[in-house]
Structure 1
């Protein structure tokens, strides 16, 4: 088991994780008593996780938003807006706005204040999707969804800083449903049993990240799309500023591409021109430069694709729920209807 810090620091990080666990327990106890929790007049659906790094929250929120829009609802996405500022939106906020232009995005560290202001100005909003909401318990929620990445060893992990857990595994009992993501190999019975041990129920749904297509920016040409297998046989450079870049690299290689070099960057990387000049140099002779949409929404303002030495490739990711989709859709709509009935009663 390895954590975010070097293994040689484990004699220090393990005791610190015990202290961290006690702090989290006291914090959760206060929220369990309802202290400083605000309830809104519209249903709130929280999508979160219990680990650091990516588990697929962004594509899951997008899937839910699209599903609700198709059902005639008017959702808004509320998020912290990590990496953003008053003058410049963060990468995930930009990603949502690009992919879902008809869905409002509320980005602010003080989410309760921001949601209240949004509802006052946009009374047509009838559902709030709380991005990364499992630990943000100041907002009362009507449905708590927690994602667990099948490719990570979450169910045997330790608390921060010895491991990657943001909360103890026992906290899964607080969730209404667990969804397993990146389950490329199908349903994992052992993982399901471990989740049931802490959550009290088997996972509601199983999903995988599916690349619907590639956005390809070829120097001197109009941007176009291509199927994912366009990568087959190509030597590429990667620069992946996401929480779990290994999963993206595995997907690239599974499509038959060869990663010639990877420029390591942090999740939510703040790119600058000198850094991108290094990336540009690495791309000489390559058949493609692969970045995520989370990277592209920041990089596109700093470079001219027509002057890049090879095609810039941005995979478009969708959440494919291959087991339990109907059950998830039913749970979402049941909770929305129940929350609406409750709000009507409170307003009488």
Structure 2
């Protein structure tokens, strides 16, 4: 609590400087956007899944949901996901992700994408255009694929056929300033470039905000929400989340915005709940894992997310993963939009 207070005070004292620097950031961003020469992924229908803020908006679960939806509706189409591969060692020269890829090499989120989407190709690389060319050549892909750009809204180098931007419903009232004064990569006016606005972690309490943005930008609106589905042990044994009721729980995670995860655990009324937040994309060390083993003796269960589990080599016996069920309203409207755009696509 003390370090948090010092950090908060420091931000308040430095805010005028940070606010001034945010205009510098905005100018550099604008120049990059205008001067970057865009390239087309020939033969591909490109969908960008992005956001306006720094991390934690639910892009990975939404990309998984979207890819499964496309696979169901267009089973003949090859699906490729191109990711920057944040925090991975394989992103420098490009890497094809498979189920045997190491988390440190592939990155936690690309590995989760591949785990949930075995029918799709997942490739990481700083240069996504080169990744696509290399992937098509190595795998001898002849058909016209559907490419999903993970975190692609600010990726100015590539043309896209459809833009979807996620807004974190739990944080939308707090996000006012650009980096470094705040958490926004772009101002809300950037929503004029998107095709669909997706309210992630949707809660009915923000419906007025939803309607205001819809009226302002005249864009398609989607509401993407999560519900606790089940608890999963590392050995894949499944239990109801109700198992947490009246138990002593230690919850930890390294995701962008952990409060929703913790609040879901609180909803099952554990007898005791202790939480710990690691930075986003945290790579768990042997020291961390030793600490978890010691902590596990004082709690009934340790609970984390799938994104955490892929980076833990030896999970404690009483570790549980809280799996979430994703729900999307107006799914039929998104499918209709995809069919309409795909029918008008010119094969190259």
1:336-347 counterparts in 2 under 5 A? 336-339=342-345, 342-343=346-347, 347=348
Asked whether the 8 Å contact 1:238–1:289 carries over to 2, the reply is yes
CA distance in 2: counterparts of 1:63 and 1:24, whole angstroms? 30
Q: 1:103 to 1:39 in 2, by over 3 A?
A: closer
CA distance in 1: counterparts of 2:307 and 2:108, whole angstroms? 6
CA distance in 2: counterparts of 1:115 and 1:295, whole angstroms? 28
The answer for unaligned runs of 5 or more in structure 2 is 1-6, 91-101
1:300-319 counterparts in 2 under 5 A? 302-303=313-314, 305=315, 308=316, 311-319=318-326
CA distance in 2: counterparts of 1:172 and 1:126, whole angstroms? 26
Name 2:129's counterpart in structure 1: 112
Name 1:15's counterpart in structure 2: 20
Name 1:265's counterpart in structure 2: 278
Name 2:229's counterpart in structure 1: 212
With the length of structure 2 as denominator, give the TM-score of the two structures: 0.86
Name 1:146's counterpart in structure 2: 165
1:1-348 counterparts in 2 under 5 A? 6-31=11-36, 35-71=37-73, 72=75, 73-86=77-90, 88-120=105-137, 121=139, 122-124=141-143, 126-153=145-172, 156-183=175-202, 185-186=203-204, 188-196=206-214, 200-201=217-218, 203-217=220-234, 222-257=235-270, 260-299=273-312, 302-303=313-314, 305=315, 308=316, 311-321=318-328, 323-339=329-345, 342-343=346-347, 347=348
Asked whether the 8 Å contact 2:296–2:318 carries over to 1, the reply is no
Displacement of 1:327 in angstroms is 1.1
CA distance in 1: counterparts of 2:279 and 2:123, whole angstroms? 24
Other structure's SS at 1:153 match: coil
Aligned residues: 324
Asked whether the 8 Å contact 2:81–2:121 carries over to 1, the reply is yes
Other structure's SS at 1:76 match: strand
Displacement of 1:154 in angstroms is 5.4
Displacement of 1:124 in angstroms is 4.5
The answer for unaligned runs of 5 or more in structure 1 is none
Farther-moved stretch of structure 1 (45-54 vs 63-72):
63-72
Displacement of 1:190 in angstroms is 2.2
CA distance in 1: counterparts of 2:82 and 2:72, whole angstroms? 19
Aligned residues: CA RMSD: 2.2
With the length of structure 1 as denominator, give the TM-score of the two structures: 0.86
CA distance in 2: counterparts of 1:259 and 1:9, whole angstroms? 38
Q: 1:63 to 1:131 in 2, by over 3 A?
A: same
